[in-house]
Amino acid sequence: MEDAIRLTTPLKTEDVEKLHIGDRVLLSGTIYTARDAAHKRLIQLIQTGDSLPFQLEGQVIYYVGPSPPKPGKAVGAAGPTTSYRMDAYAPELISLGLKGMIGKGARNQAVKDAMKQYKAVYFAAIGGAGALMARSILTAEVIAYPELGPEAIRRLEVKDFPVIVANDVHGGDLYEEGARMYAR
């Protein structure tokens, strides 16, 4: 991705403000994995005032449950899961400083509103390309909920992790825009 924007986590407001739908991004640094069961537990911790397993401010969560790694690899296939299952939880996490989410599929209006209000973005990853995505993952460490197996929260170190901006802080929605362009 020669013309990709390179970003390093944690993300800052100015990082996400310059992004627009359709931008190709190569992420490097630390990102976290979490799916719906982990999201539910994070929200429960927030509601009870307990500490989270990682600080949300500036972070990116990848909606993935990676397969077991082959020898010498950090993870096996690591393709995105469908994001709408996290929509009930995402607005609260965004309001607490989450700056990015990675998954596949459209987001609901509450999530899009929260991204616009609190300056966060949603990145689309290529579904069905889990082995390709895994090449950009250098390390993976379970940091919470090991009993969830592949859905445990992991800290990933990534280099040049390829994503596309699907929703931006300006209210842009690549899924809606794509449908409009196709309809023409």
Which residues, including other chains, have CB under 8 Å from residue 148's CB and lie 6 or more apart? 37, 38
The DSSP bridge pattern shows strands 153-167 and 137-144 to be: antiparallel
**Distances in whole angstroms, Cα of residue 107 to Cα of each of 42, 47, 143, 172:** 19, 23, 27, 12
CA distance 170 to 116: 6
Whether 20 sits among the annotated catalytic residues: the reply is no
CA dihedral 20, 24, 27, 31 (to 10 degrees): 70
Cis peptide before 10 (omega within 30 of 0): yes
Which of these is catalytic: 35, 39, 99, 107?
39
Catalytic residues: 39
